[in-house]
Amino acid sequence: MQLPQCVPSYYSHHRRCWATVGGSRHTTRVNSRRCRGSGAPGPETIKTTARVTASITHKMETQVLETQQSLMLRPKRARRHSPQVLTGAMSVPAGTTDLNSGLAEYITKGPILARCGISPESVHTNLTSWVQLGEQLAKQLGFNHDNMDAVQKLRVYHYYLPVYFWCTQQLRLHKESGAKTALVVGISAPQGCGKSTLVEQLQALLISNGHNAANVSIDDFYLRFQDQSKLAAEHSSNPLLQYRGNAGTHDLELGAQTLQRLRDLHSPSDSASVPRYDKSANGGRGDRADPSTWPKVNGPVDIVLFEGWMSGFSPLPEEEVKKVDPSLVGVNAFLKAYRHVWDEMVDSWLVIQIGDPQWVFKWRLQAEEGMRASGKPGMSDDQIADFVARFMPAYKAYLPQLYSKGPTTARPNHTLIIEVDEQRSPMANQPQPVL
């Protein structure tokens, strides 16, 4: 290896001569008279300097080899980023400390930070972890981390990362409780509010940081086409049951079996197939995808993200739903079975609250416009209005109770409700906890 040039320097007040190498000073005793001298060094000093150089070279080579061996022997493993103290020196470019200090202050002002169980002190202590995860998340989302706009920065540091840390906290509590199954996080959020994107990013972060995560949607448990057609015929006077969507149009048994299998994946030799639903089949009426196309999840699974637009809805007295829409009475009757079959397998709940269900129409319109712009077939505005109208009675009836009391099986310290605005960003003023 090539080493920096050793340059001897003379210090008149001590009987030592210093040699500076790469910013470090190494010392050895030499002829004191030559140290005090101001002229050129004589033969004795030249020999001594050579010995100093050789000694320093040997010492540096030894240090470099030891460092290389240490790095080679250090075990490589997935990093688990959770609120914990990070130690170890690291090289910090000029100006980075000030930038990170500003980022820490920004993170601590997040509106959902406290709801997620994260203190400002924890942010400052674990800032390295926050930055690393922020960079990873920005990359996943296609953002330039060092040049994010205000909305992107908010999405990363005020929304997705606090929720990620909340999930890891729930996972830790689940394991500490002695549970032998995977943690199931129920995620209840209206269509179009960014639910799918949130779930995808959470799953990617969890997996890349050592937690095997699976995701499944209630949409994948819709009835087969023939069974949906039969249901529609049996309730021909009920417009809310003519198409997939509302309670009653799901295969509850298939959903329960799938959740149970995912929860029980304990070893690498265990696996489970997750159903998928093809919404484009039968002219848009939909049908269950061929089982040969279902993705397979391998164990062991740590966490299951179980999302749906009506997850955690509680049935209401018949008179109340009749006031909203008489057709909702039949849906309400079907809803009564969901708690026992699905919701009781949920360990923790995340609810995304919105201020106005009418936003769903706008969000759906934006999604369809995007599909058409990319060359994919999309619904017309009238078709979108008809589609969204099927869900409005349920939103009107069940969302107030979901937001005021929480999901059916919600528990204190295991329920997180976040309100977002029309741009799908967390509101500055969050609702008070309901549990």
pLDDT digits (tens, 9 = 90+) for 280-310: 899 889 999 999 999 999 999 999 999 999 9
Question: What pLDDT is attached to residue 92?
Answer: 38
233 and 342 co-located in one domain: yes
User: pLDDT band at 20, cuts 50/70/90?
Assistant: very low
315 and 273 co-located in one domain: yes
pLDDT at 79 over 70: no
- Structure tokens, 372: 């058409």
185 and 134 co-located in one domain: no
416 and 304 co-located in one domain: yes
Residue 128 resides in a domain: yes
Residue 428 resides in a domain: no
Residue 355 resides in a domain: yes
User: pLDDT band at 376, cuts 50/70/90?
Assistant: confident
CA–CA dist 381, 236 (Å, integer): 25
Question: What pLDDT is attached to residue 374?
Answer: 81
pLDDT in tens, 312-339: 999 999 999 999 999 999 999 999 999 9
pLDDT at 7 over 70: no
151 and 276 co-located in one domain: no
245 and 206 co-located in one domain: yes
Residue 49 resides in a domain: no
Domain boundary among 124, 158, 192: 158
Question: What pLDDT is attached to residue 82?
Answer: 45
Residue 76 resides in a domain: no
Which CA distances in Å does 54 have to 16, 59, 67, 377?
17, 9, 20, 75
Buried b / exposed e across 206-222, counting CB within 10 Å, b at 16+? bebbebbbbbbbbbbbb
Instruction: Write the CB contacts of 248 (distance below 8 Å, at least 6 apart in sequence).
Output: 231, 241, 330, 331, 333, 334, 335
Domain that holds residue 235: 178-420
Which CA distances in Å does 153 have to 157, 172, 196?
6, 27, 19
135 and 249 co-located in one domain: no
Residue 362 resides in a domain: yes
Residue 390 resides in a domain: yes
Strand partners, 21: 24
* Percent of the chain clearing pLDDT 90 (strictly above): 70
Q: Left (φ > 0), alpha (ψ -120 to 50) or beta: where does 186 sit?
A: beta
Q: Which has the minimum average pLDDT: 6-20, 234-248, 340-354, 413-427?
A: 6-20
Bridge-based pairing state of the strands 348-354 and 183-188: parallel
Residue 61 resides in a domain: no
Q: Tell me what the pLDDT averaged over the chain comes to.
A: 84
pLDDT in tens, 190-223: 999 999 999 999 999 999 999 999 999 999 999 9
282 and 342 co-located in one domain: yes
pLDDT at 62 over 80: no
Could you tell me the strand order of the sheet in which 303-308 lies?
A: 213-217, 303-308, 183-188, 348-354, 415-420
Residue 122 phi, psi (nearest 5): -65, -40
Q: Which has the minimum average pLDDT: 71-80, 108-117, 197-206, 339-348?
A: 71-80
**If you ran DSSP here, which 8-state letter would residue 250 be given?**
B
pLDDT at 56 over 80: no
pLDDT at 119 over 90: yes
Number of separate domains in the chain: 2
What CATH number is attached to the domain comprising 281? 3.40.50.300
Helix locations, 177-250, DSSP H: 195-208, 225-234
In 73-231 the beta strands, taken as DSSP E runs, fall at: 183-188, 213-217
318 and 217 co-located in one domain: yes
Q: Which has the minimum average pLDDT: 28-42, 109-123, 128-142?
A: 28-42
Give the Cβ contact number of residue 424 at 10 Å: 20
131 and 187 co-located in one domain: no
Question: What pLDDT is attached to residue 54?
Answer: 52
User: pLDDT band at 55, cuts 50/70/90?
Assistant: low
CA 58-61-66 angle, to 5 degrees, is 125
195 and 333 co-located in one domain: yes
Give the Cβ contact number of residue 94 at 10 Å: 6
152 and 189 co-located in one domain: no
User: pLDDT band at 97, cuts 50/70/90?
Assistant: low
